[in-house]
A and B are shown apart, each in its own frame.
Chain A
Amino acid sequence: MSFINKMGKAAAGLVLSASLMAGAATTVVAAEYTKENPLKVALVLHGTLGDKSFFDSAAAGMTKAEAELPVSVKIIEAGYDRSKWQPALADAADSGYDVVIAGTFDMTGYITELATQYPDVKFIDFDDAPDYTKCECKNVLGVMYGTSTAGYLAGYAAAKLSKTGVLATILGMEFPTVTDFKTGFDQGAKAANADIQILNSTAGTFSDPAKGKEIALAQLNQNADVIFPIAGSTGIGALQAVKEAGGGKLAVGVDSDQATIFAESDAAQADVIFTSVEKKVGESLFLALKGTIDGSQEYGKRILLGLKDGAVGISKNAYYEKLVPADLRAEIDAIEAKIISGEIQVNTDMK
């Protein structure tokens, strides 16, 4: 390993000096990728597939890319043991892939470290970005999601649907990728009804459904009738509380279209989720790879994708159509157009 590492560094040095001699800038000559000579991509997941959310969405984007682009993808599941994440990423960076994709702040540190060691490999860091002022990350693309723009739509709808005038949110933990959902949700809710009251709880964990359920029960007890959990499986417990409460109480799903996920196994659960604020990780990665192939995607910077890029959105499925009246749906569509055109400015926590 260390030998290969050294070789990699040496090769990198050679490439660097060669490009200096040629007087070329950082633009590498765009290679022509074909089905026979595809762009080699590794997706390193710091977890496993089958999470019904984030990682599955990323993998779906890879499947789409393989079908439509000259790309070959290897998905590496590093598991939930933290000590395996860095080696998995380092292995991928060292194995001759053109693009290595990993995500969230858990992986950013490792990406930053490896990006300088492997300057000829491109890295995509989704749902986070390295600090470009502190590292020479010319080969790293940070893809971030402005979820507040879609959260605004869900908040607006929630406030209009609420009969008690009390909404509630549950955060897993407080960091920007989580609170950004709420920032938009709150702003949208207040735009719909200036007197709306929004309860909020922070669970401190993303993996305790029993706790999420208790928090939601307490919020329902305090008169909330629409709950928006942004808390991974802690949030799934909250969805269950809303289902069991009945009586027209509603919930908003998060990250992926949660009503559709529940539709087959638990129809009663799907029936209370009127929409979900989706982070379309797969779609954004597909677009980034497409841009990489045709040379239009710049690296070495952070991009913040929102409603207008199609990277976030609310689910407009059968449940949305059933639970949200037609005039409100039309209103939401109008607001969506205004956010895209920039007429409505949505606050964001993504700085």
Chain B
Amino acid sequence: MTELLITIISTGFFATVIRTTTPLLLATLGGLIADLSGALNVALEGMMLIGCLTAVIVSVYAPWYVAVLSGVGAGALLGLLMAFFAYRLKADIILVGFAINILAAGGTVFALALATGGDKGTSINLQSQAIPPVDLTFLSGIPIIGPTLSAMLTGQSVVTWIAAFLVFAIWYFLYRTPWGLWLRGVGEYPAAPEAAGIPVTKVRTWSLVVSGALAGLGGAQLAMFNYVGFTRDMTGGRGFIALGAVLLGARHPVGATIAALLFGAFDAFAIVLPGLYNWMPSELIRMIPFIVTIVALISFSVRAQRALALRGVQ
């Protein structure tokens, strides 16, 4: 038990959690924006995947930041496409989302084959680049906590710091600006903002564009930092877990961040555990993140019920 605690409170474990959480967090923030505007974005997975491939291919020919931006752009374009089908052509938004996921699964393999000259599994024939890590070793100059702080925070991707800033920026936007109020109003009860002259469709379209851009950024991080390169279906369901994290986080930027961190932490936990306890069946270890999710959802729902009861609503 002590060795487990030592591992979990180690700086290396903390760094792993941050690393595994970053792509998930970005997708979660994307899901949150769309969800709050009332446009459920089930295409996060596909947007991430296309963001991954775009970033990898562009990074072969251009500097890393251009590659990251192109991943963001690809996601944003998909968001726009989704809005076009859903609001201009009046298609069901869930179906459009799934169509984008299917398009991404097949389309990325097709595009990969074109870019590599026939490889349909991995991009190992492309010399793609990585996002540079941020060096914060100067922090170790701070007395007492310095060295620990430096070990925990050094070596993370630039995008991780952008993601941390985005959590704050999105919270500020949603709760401290008039446009944030519009967005939440459109999601809550579209008839009211419409009567007040707020362009509901336009707000939702922009939400989907931003949502796609965030998912694309998450994809760029996944394919240019967590692993450098592209492989078929490499997002591995992160876009769907992000949808869950939005709800688990009570549709609030800080809550969603905590939920994403929770998933990241238990993923990291499942990764270090087999090395410490080799008697533990791997099936059991892989169940841990899901059990935690269920427990968290139950406790959240119980708390919400109690709060309602206290307010006399039943």
A contacts with B, residue count (CB < 8 A) = 42
Asked if B222 is an interface residue, CB under 8 A from chain A, the answer is: yes
Q: 13 extra interchain contacts, Cβ-Cβ under 8 A, other than A204-B286, A214-B226?
A: A48-B109, A50-B120, A202-B286, A205-B236, A207-B233, A207-B234, A210-B227, A218-B275, A233-B232, A236-B229, A264-B125, A265-B126, A266-B127
Interface bits B208-236 vs A (CB < 8 Å: 1, else 0)? 00000000000000100011110111101
Can you list 27 A-B contacts with CB-CB less than 8 angstroms, sorted by A residue number? A48-B109, A48-B113, A49-B120, A50-B119, A51-B121, A52-B119, A80-B106, A171-B282, A201-B282, A207-B231, A207-B236, A208-B236, A209-B227, A209-B229, A210-B226, A210-B234, A213-B226, A214-B20, A218-B271, A218-B275, A219-B275, A222-B276, A233-B122, A236-B122, A261-B124, A265-B127, A269-B124
Asked if A48 and B275 make an inter-chain contact with CB atoms under 8 angstroms apart, the answer reads no
Interface bits B107-129 vs A (CB < 8 Å: 1, else 0)? 00100010010111110111100
Asked if A262 and B232 make an inter-chain contact with CB atoms under 8 angstroms apart, the answer reads no
Residues of A within 8 A of B227 (CB): 209-210, 212-213, 236-237, 240
Closest to A170 in B: B274
Residues of B within 8 A of A214 (CB): 16, 19-20, 226, 267-268, 271
Asked if A50 and B113 make an inter-chain contact with CB atoms under 8 angstroms apart, the answer reads yes
Task: Compute how far the CA of A171 lies from the CA of B20 in the bound complex, rounded to whole angstroms.
Answer: 20
Task: Compute how far the CA of A50 lies from the CA of B232 in the bound complex, rounded to whole angstroms.
Answer: 11
Residues of B within 8 A of A140 (CB): none
Asked if A240 and B229 make an inter-chain contact with CB atoms under 8 angstroms apart, the answer reads yes
Asked if A348 is an interface residue, CB under 8 A from chain B, the answer is: no
Question: Which of A209, A237, A262 has the most B CB atoms < 10 Å from its CB?
Answer: A209
Binding site for A on B (CB under 8 A): 12, 16, 19-20, 23, 105-106, 109, 113, 116, 118-122, 124-127, 222, 226-229, 231-234, 236, 267-268, 271-272, 274-276, 278, 282, 285-286
Asked if B236 and A51 make an inter-chain contact with CB atoms under 8 angstroms apart, the answer reads no
Cβ of A306 to closest chain B Cβ, rounded Å? 27
Q: Mostly helix, strand, loop or mixed at chain A's interface?
A: mixed
Task: Compute how far the CA of A48 lies from the CA of B108 in the bound complex, rounded to whole angstroms.
Answer: 13
Residues of B within 8 A of A217 (CB): 16
Asked if A233 and B234 make an inter-chain contact with CB atoms under 8 angstroms apart, the answer reads yes
Closest to A264 in B: B125
Asked if B282 and A202 make an inter-chain contact with CB atoms under 8 angstroms apart, the answer reads yes
Asked if A200 and B286 make an inter-chain contact with CB atoms under 8 angstroms apart, the answer reads no
A209-B227, A233-B232, A240-B228 known; A202 and B120 CB under 8 Å? no
Q: Which A residues, 225 to 267, have Cβ-Cβ distances below 8 Å to chain B?
A: 233, 236-237, 240, 261-262, 264-266
Task: Compute how far the CA of A240 lies from the CA of B229 in the bound complex, rounded to whole angstroms.
Answer: 10
A51-B121, A202-B286, A236-B124 known; A80 and B232 CB under 8 Å? yes
Residues of B within 8 A of A202 (CB): 274, 282, 285-286
Binding site for B on A (CB under 8 A): 48-53, 79-81, 168, 171, 174, 199-202, 204-205, 207-215, 217-219, 221-222, 233, 236-237, 240, 261-262, 264-266, 269
Residues of A within 8 A of B106 (CB): 79-81
A174-B282, A199-B278, A236-B122 known; A209 and B234 CB under 8 Å? yes
Partner of A80 from B105, B229, B236 at Cβ < 8 Å: B105
Task: Compute how far the CA of A209 lies from the CA of B20 in the bound complex, rounded to whole angstroms.
Answer: 12
Residues of B within 8 A of A204 (CB): 282, 286
Asked if B231 and A233 make an inter-chain contact with CB atoms under 8 angstroms apart, the answer reads yes
Residues of A within 8 A of B105 (CB): 80
A199-B274, A237-B227, A264-B125 known; A218 and B16 CB under 8 Å? yes
Task: Compute how far the CA of A237 lies from the CA of B223 in the bound complex, rounded to whole angstroms.
Answer: 11
Task: Compute how far the CA of A199 lies from the CA of B23 in the bound complex, rounded to whole angstroms.
Answer: 28
Cβ of A220 to closest chain B Cβ, rounded Å? 10
Residues of B within 8 A of A261 (CB): 124
Cβ of A103 to closest chain B Cβ, rounded Å? 16
Residues of B within 8 A of A171 (CB): 282
Question: Which of B236, B267, B286 has the most A CB atoms < 10 Å from its CB?
Answer: B236
A48-B109, A208-B236, A237-B227 known; A201 and B124 CB under 8 Å? no
A210-B234, A214-B19, A236-B231 known; A52 and B122 CB under 8 Å? yes
Task: Compute how far the CA of A204 lies from the CA of B118 in the bound complex, rounded to whole angstroms.
Answer: 28
Closest to A79 in B: B106
Cβ of A77 to closest chain B Cβ, rounded Å? 9
Task: Compute how far the CA of A261 lies from the CA of B121 in the bound complex, rounded to whole angstroms.
Answer: 13
Question: Which of A174, A212, A236 has the most B CB atoms < 10 Å from its CB?
Answer: A236
Residues of B within 8 A of A207 (CB): 231-234, 236
Question: Which of B20, B118, B274, B278 has the most A CB atoms < 10 Å from its CB?
Answer: B274
